[in-house]
Amino acid sequence: MNETANRTGSGKGVAPEDRLDAQIGYNLRRASALALNDFTVELADAALRPVTYGMLALIDERPGISAAELCRLLGMKSANMAPLLAELEERGLVERDDHAQDRRMQVLALTKAAKAAMPAWRGQVRNHEDRFLQRLTKKERATLLRLLRLIWTDED
């Protein structure tokens, strides 16, 4: 008997495919909650959340990226991005500069301190993912990543 049936009784009258534990969204939410909690613990000393780490990682990968492009790549709204960029700037992790050709646009880069810390943060994220995905084989991890990307990207 599965976990949901154990907690709620026999589960009679509900088709197996309609049970809560058979729903993709429910399982994604449960996995996401576990991942978020573990990530928070792993990066507590750095005071990074998945969204702020993602911002820093992309800025590291694409120095000089615009805030608009960062929003697009992370699937965020600029209204949500602005306070997060301000927070990272206040913490001395991100710096903004005027674009060389278009003064209306600002480009983003990591500060020296953030550049120096990034390899350790990436290592912590690897530790987190290894712990979080410990039940999966290397091939299963690759399959999971491929399937998740199919859901949210337009790539084939």
Domain ranges of the chain: 16-127
pLDDT of 31 above 70: yes
The answer to whether the pTM exceeds 0.85 is no
Amino acid type, 40 = T
Where does the pLDDT of residue 142 fall: very low under 50, low under 70, confident under 90, or very high at 90 and above?
A: very high
Report the DSSP pairing between strands 94-98 and 106-110. Answer: antiparallel
Beta bridge partners of 95: 109
pLDDT digits (tens, 9 = 90+) for 100-117: 666 667 899 999 999 999
Beta bridge partners of 108: 65, 96
Contact 70, 110 (CB under 8 A): no
Q: Which pLDDT score is estimated for 12?
A: 76
Q: Strand 65-66: give its sheet, edge to edge.
A: 65-66, 106-110, 94-98
CATH code, 16-127: 1.10.10.10
Q: Which pLDDT score is estimated for 106?
A: 82
List phi, psi (to 5°) of 106: -110, 145
- Which tokens hold the place of 70? 């960062």
Contact 116, 75 (CB under 8 A): no
